[in-house]
Structure 1
Amino acid sequence: MNPPNSRSDALVNKWEGRRFLNDRLDWNLLRTYLVIGQEGSISRAAARLHITQSAVSQALRRLEEQLECALILRRGPRFDLTAAGEEVLRIATDIYGDVSRISAAVEQRSDAVAGKVRLLTISRVQSALYDEFLADFHEAHPRVELEIEVLRSADIISSLLQKTATAGLGLCRIPQPKLEQRQLLRQRYAFYCGRRHRLFGRTDVALEDMQGDSFVSFVSDQLGGNLSPLAMFRDQQGFTGRIVASSSNFEEIHRLVCAGFGIGCLPEHLVQRDIEQGLLWRLPPAEGIVDVDLLLLWNREQRLTVAESVFLESFQHRLATLDGGTA
Structure 2
Amino acid sequence: MKTPTDSERLTRELDWNLLRTFMVVVQEGSVTKGGNRLRLRQPSVSQALKRLEDRLQTQLIERSPSTFRVTPAGQHLYRECIEVYGTISRAISAGQGIEDELTGKVTVAAFSRIESDLFDRVLSQFHSLHPKVGFEINVMPSKAVRQTVLEKGAGLGICLVYDKHAKLVYEQVYRCYFGFFCGPTHPLFGQSNLKVQDLRGHSSVTFKTDQLWDALRPVALMRAHHKLDDQVTGSTSHLGEAMRMIIAGLGFGPLPVHVADAYVQSGQLWRLPPYEDTLEIDVHLVTNPNARLNRAEDAFLEFFRGELSKVPLEERTYKSGLQQRQFSD
- Scaled by the length of structure 2, what TM-score is found? 0.64
C-alpha displacement of 1:241: 3.0
Could you tell me how far 1:326 is from its partner in structure 2?
3.7
Residue 218 of structure 2 is matched in structure 1 by 229
> Any unmatched runs of 5+ in structure 1?
1-109
Partners of 2:294 and 2:188 lie apart in 1 by: 53
Equivalent of 1:258 in 247, 263, 272: 247
1:295 corresponding residue in structure 2? 284
- Which residue in the other structure is 2:180 paired with? 191
Which residue of 1 is the match for residue 233 of structure 2?
Answer: 244
The residue number in structure 1 matching 2:297 is 308
Identity rate of aligned residues, in percent? 36
State the partner residue of 1:139: 128
Q: 1:267 to 1:287 in 2, by over 3 A?
A: same
Q: In the alignment, which residue of structure 1 is the partner of 2:108? A: 119
Distance apart, 1:240 and its partner CA: 5.1
Q: Please list every run of 5 or more consecutive structure 2 residues that lacks an aligned counterpart in the other structure.
A: 1-98, 317-329
Distance in 2 (alpha carbons) for counterparts of 1:221 and 1:326: 26
**Cα deviations by residue, 1:248-288 (Å, 9 ceiling, x for unpaired):** 01111001101111110100010111111111110111113
- Structure 1 vs Structure 2 CA RMSD: 1.5
Question: What SS class does the counterpart of residue 185 from structure 1 fall into?
Answer: strand
Matches within 5 A, 1:1-327: 111-239=100-228, 241-327=230-316
Deviations 1:138-157 (A, max 9, x none): 11112222111111111100
Q: CA deviation at 1:111?
A: 4.2
**Preserved CA contact (<8 Å) 1:215 1:262:** yes
Residues in 1 aligned to 2:131 and 2:263: alpha-carbon distance in whole angstroms: 36
Structure 2 residue matching 1:271: 3-state secondary structure: helix
Give the number of aligned pairs.
Answer: 218
Q: More displaced, 294-303 or 236-245? A: 236-245
Measure, in 2, the Cα distance between the counterparts of 1:298 and 1:320: 16
Which residue matches 2:327?
none
Paired residues of 2:103 and 2:296 also in contact (CA < 8 A): yes
The structure-2 alpha-carbon separation of the partners of 1:221 and 1:164, relative to structure 1 and needing over 3 Å to count, comes to same
Q: In the TM superposition, what whole-angstrom CA distance separates every residue of 1:220-253 from its partner, at most 9, and x where no partner exists?
A: 1123121122112111123353211001011110
Contact 1:121 1:156 (8 Å CA) reproduced: yes
The DSSP-based 3-state class of the residue aligned with 1:325 is helix
**Residues 184 and 247 in structure 2, CA contact (< 8 A), matched pair in contact too:** yes
